[in-house]
């Protein structure tokens, strides 16, 4: 199968095996299986293609699979009038030409038997083993697609689940769709268009992400012909007119061949024609096409180092177009693709694009995960697993697919799933950002700190208040670049939630679904954004407070100011008492205390999530209540010290003091630290008429533009 022009009537500018006559194969299939000592004629083409990639493959299992498939489907016909067996044969031939291993081909031959015939999974397992049974079951679970709007999301959800367990399931499904698209002409035009749109929106991006360019490009051309017939015919005419003896790429290819031969570099130089959609895109981008726009040069070498040697020679002996250089060997694409891209100026100013890769890279570029064989084959040199697991850890599964599997479980609404799936698949580039703990996050290009927060912390990211990007403070809307180091900063208030504005900055399905889900669960909440989230802890350093300690751990005793702790009574009159910064209890909240390291008692609101966490790890609660004015400041109001973290800007101090005054609070003292890394830290000791006004005061301060967090001070406030 060619990865180039999908139209069988297009000018032949490629080296490939001719298209198999499936009608002839169908007639052969109707005559039934042949003797056991040789393969049936109908599958001999599959065997030939398979042996080209796997010379030592045992073809016995393929013969047995064909015999079962042919006998099971005998009498069934396709809408095109061909015997049904031609379909699994064609699908298997597509995969064989891509280099799929024997197990995948066996499952491909049988992929419709369980769904459309009397054959059962138990029979498949008994005759062909667990692996083939697993793949056939995975494809069967995808069921026949009902192309109605409601059925489509659920069908592809099943597809993702099956793919996540074994990428070979998706390989078979893609080949199945390719053959169906090739024979789509027998259907009504409206159904052709409906199937073509689904193929365009979901299956082609999936093929791209699995790296199966050979399938992707032919599917693109077939969809192009159905959905845009006039533009397709114009492109066909342009390609036909450009075919002739005076191809400028031929001249440049000869010059490149001589240059590399003189340099002692063993390389194969080929002309790689663009497929129809690629030519159409170039035409829309440049307007009038040049003679070299109908193809690219492909240079194949033996080793990685040879790729860079070829690049050096080309840039030395030809005039390079530097803006066209891309190194996908040192930084592979998200779909396993590796190659060097460049462009050089040939005779008479003709510019030719050049792809440089090893033969192995080329195989992976064409076939993607299909070329990687059986990802679950046991390495004889590897130690045996002592604890079997139901999880199938697939080393070929790209990170994006793992993320899709994670968020599809959260997207309970089919419309949300469908929309988010299409949006995610539309991302054609991935970036890698680094965490401060040394880990990495794979995100789509254009992702923001919101996406990084949810990728790292999941639902805990609802409390995010900002981030540090490459050591500098940044807002959650900051777009990340490849190689950035990001540290999301979380507030201490576990009850706070996201801002609706975050949806404008979220690019990943995980982030969008989590944010949307939070608002679905809190329909009456109108939470402020990252600069106004109701976070009451010190969170500017992104560290949990002692009151948010993980189960099983203890926290050091640290004093916190707030409404003075003498206003709280606990069972132990000698214990140091402090109010938890995570839930900021104020009268008349019901209280519960816990003894922490050093003997201090930290007091929480009873509904605080930290209370349940403490009880789950076996911490005994300490009875606590508000003193009836004893030792408190009920007559003089409530004194509290707050720290405001903000980005520097003119009039910031004036706006903050105005917000404090508007909240009916009096400033006892205030300090402003010198700006550091664009950050300004303000510390205010305030007196409020009533402790109940504290949350509103803190929200008002956070509403001031540039302020990204307001928290309780970590140390006692002065009493003056």
Tokens describing residue 177: 């769709």
Q: Where are the alpha helices (DSSP H) in 373-499?
A: 399-410, 414-425, 449-457
Quote the distance between the C-alpha of residue 213 and its chain's center. 19
- The half-sphere exposure of 287 on its side-chain side, counting CA atoms within 13 A, is 0
Rg (CA), the chain: 33
Q: Which one of 82, 97, 116, 313 is the catalytic residue?
A: 116
> At which residue do the structure tokens 């609706």 appear?
500
**Calpha distance 45→630 (Å, rounded):** 93
Give the residue from 447, 449, 442 showing the smallest Cα distance to 406. Answer: 442
3-class SS letters over 644-704: EEEECCCCHHHHHHHHHHHCCCEEEEEEECCCECCEEEEEEEEEECCHHHHHHHHHHHHCC
- Provide the 3-class DSSP secondary structure of residue 209: helix
Strand partners, 568: 626
Find the helix or strand (DSSP H, E) in which 711 lies: strand 707-712
Q: SS3 of 548, please?
A: helix
Q: DSSP code of 73?
A: H
Whether 37 is catalytic? no
What SS3 class is residue 356? strand
- Residue 25: helix, strand or coil by DSSP? helix
Which residues make beta-bridge pairs with 46? none
CB-based burial of residue 128 (10 Å sphere; 0-12 exposed, 13-18 middle, 19+ buried)?
A: buried
Q: Decide if 356 contacts 339 (C-beta within 8 A).
A: yes
Q: Which residue has the tokens 């390291």?
A: 597
Facing residues of 603 across strands?
579, 593
Give the residue from 107, 74, 97 showing the smallest Cα distance to 20: 97
- Do residues 464 and 489 make contact, with C-beta atoms less than 8 angstroms apart? yes
**Does the active-site annotation cover 126?**
no
Q: DSSP class of residue 478? A: P
Burial of 34 (0-12, 13-18, 19+ CB in 10 A): middle
Max distance between CA atoms of the chain, in angstroms, equals 103
**The CA-based dihedral angle spanning residues 55, 58, 63, 65, taken in that order and rounded to the nearest 10 degrees:** -110
**Alpha-carbon gap, residue 354 to 304, rounded angstroms:** 16
How far is it, in rounded angstroms, from Cα 645 to Cα 284? Answer: 50
Output b/e per residue, 280-319; b: 16+ Cβ within 10 A. bebbeeeeebebbbbbbbbbbbeeeebbbbbbebbeebbe
Phi, psi of 68, deg, nearest 5? -65, -45
* The two structure tokens encoding residue 148: 């109605």
- Give me 428's structure tokens: 């054609």
**Which residue among 41, 82, 97, 115 is the active-site one?**
115
Indicate which residues carry an active-site annotation. Answer: 115-116
């Amino acid at each position: 199968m060619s990865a180039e022009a999908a139209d069988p009537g297009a000018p032949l500018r490629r080296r490939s095996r001719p298209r198999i006559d499936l009608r002839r194969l169908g007639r052969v299939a109707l005559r039934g299986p042949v003797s056991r000592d040789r393969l049936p004629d109908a599958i001999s083409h599959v065997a030939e293609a398979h042996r080209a990639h796997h010379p030592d493959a045992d073809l016995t299992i393929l013969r047995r699979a064909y015999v079962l498939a042919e006998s099971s489907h005998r009498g069934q016909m396709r809408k095109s009038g061909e015997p049904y067996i031609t379909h699994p044969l064609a699908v298997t031939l597509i995969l064989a030409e891509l280099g799929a291993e024997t197990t995948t081909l066996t499952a491909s031959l049988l992929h419709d038997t369980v769904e459309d015939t009397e054959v059962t999974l138990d029979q498949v397992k008994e005759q062909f083993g667990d692996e083939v049974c697993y793949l056939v079951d995975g494809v069967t679970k995808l069921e026949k697609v009902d192309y109605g709007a409601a059925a489509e999301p659920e069908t592809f959800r099943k597809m993702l689940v099956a793919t996540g367990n074994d990428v070979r399931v998706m390989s078979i499904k893609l080949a199945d769709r390719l053959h169906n698209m090739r024979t789509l002409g027998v259907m009504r035009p409206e159904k052709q268009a409906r199937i073509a749109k689904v193929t365009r929106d979901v299956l082609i991006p999936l093929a791209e992400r699995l790296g199966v360019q050979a399938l992707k490009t032919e599917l693109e051309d077939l969809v192009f012909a159905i959905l845009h017939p006039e533009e397709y015919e114009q492109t066909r005419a342009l390609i036909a007119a450009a075919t002739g003896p005076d191809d400028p790429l031929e001249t440049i290819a000869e010059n490149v061949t001589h240059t590399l031969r003189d340099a002692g570099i063993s390389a194969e130089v080929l002309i790689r024609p663009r497929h129809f959609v690629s030519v159409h895109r170039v035409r829309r981008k440049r307007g009038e096409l040049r003679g070299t726009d109908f193809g690219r040069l492909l240079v194949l070498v033996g080793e990685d180092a040879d790729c860079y040697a070829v690049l050096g020679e080309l840039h030395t002996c030809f005039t390079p177009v530097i803006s066209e250089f891309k190194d996908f060997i040192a930084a592979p694409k998200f779909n396993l693709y590796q190659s060097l891209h460049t462009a050089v100026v040939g005779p008479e100013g003709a510019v030719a694009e050049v792809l440089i890769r090893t033969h192995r890279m080329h195989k992976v570029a064409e076939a993607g995960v299909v070329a990687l064989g059986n990802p679950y084959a046991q390495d004889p040199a590897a130690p045996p697993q002592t604890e079997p697991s139901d999880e199938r850890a697939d080393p070929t599964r790209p990170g994006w697919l793992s993320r899709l599997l994670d968020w599809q479980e959260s997207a309970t609404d089919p419309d949300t799933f469908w929309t988010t799936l299409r949006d995610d698949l539309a991302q054609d580039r991935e970036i890698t950002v680094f965490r401060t703990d040394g880990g990495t996050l794979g995100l789509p290009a254009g992702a923001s700190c919101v996406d990084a927060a949810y990728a790292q912390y999941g639902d805990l990211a609802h409390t995010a208040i900002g981030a540090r990007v490459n050591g500098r403070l940044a807002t959650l809307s900051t777009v990340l670049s490849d190689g950035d180091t990001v540290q999301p900063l979380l507030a201490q208030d576990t009850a706070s939630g996201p801002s609706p504005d975050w949806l404008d900055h979220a690019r990943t399905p995980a982030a969008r679904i989590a944010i949307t889900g939070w608002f679905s669960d809190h329909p009456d909440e109108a939470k402020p954004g990252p600069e106004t989230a109701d976070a009451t802890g010190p969170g500017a350093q992104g560290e949990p407070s002692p009151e948010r300690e993980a189960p099983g751990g203890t926290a050091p005793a640290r004093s916190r100011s707030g409404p003075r702790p003498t206003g709280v009574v606990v069972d132990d009159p000698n214990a140091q008492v402090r109010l938890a910064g995570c839930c900021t209890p104020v009268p008349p909240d019901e209280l519960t205390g816990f003894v922490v390291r050093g003997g201090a008692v930290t007091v929480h609101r009873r509904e605080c999530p930290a209370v349940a966490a403490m009880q789950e790890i076996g911490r005994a609660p300490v009875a606590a209540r508000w003193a009836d004015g004893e030792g408190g400041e009920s007559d003089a109001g409530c004194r509290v010290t707050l720290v405001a973290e903000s980005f520097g800007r003119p009039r910031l101090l004036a706006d903050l003091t105005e917000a404090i005054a508007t909240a009916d609070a009096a400033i006892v003292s205030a300090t402003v630290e010198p700006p550091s890394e664009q950050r300004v830290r303000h510390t205010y000791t305030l007196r409020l008429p009533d402790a109940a006004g504290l949350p509103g005061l803190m929200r008002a301060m956070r509403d001031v533009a540039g302020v990204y967090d307001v928290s309780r001070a970590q140390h006692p406030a002065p009493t003056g």
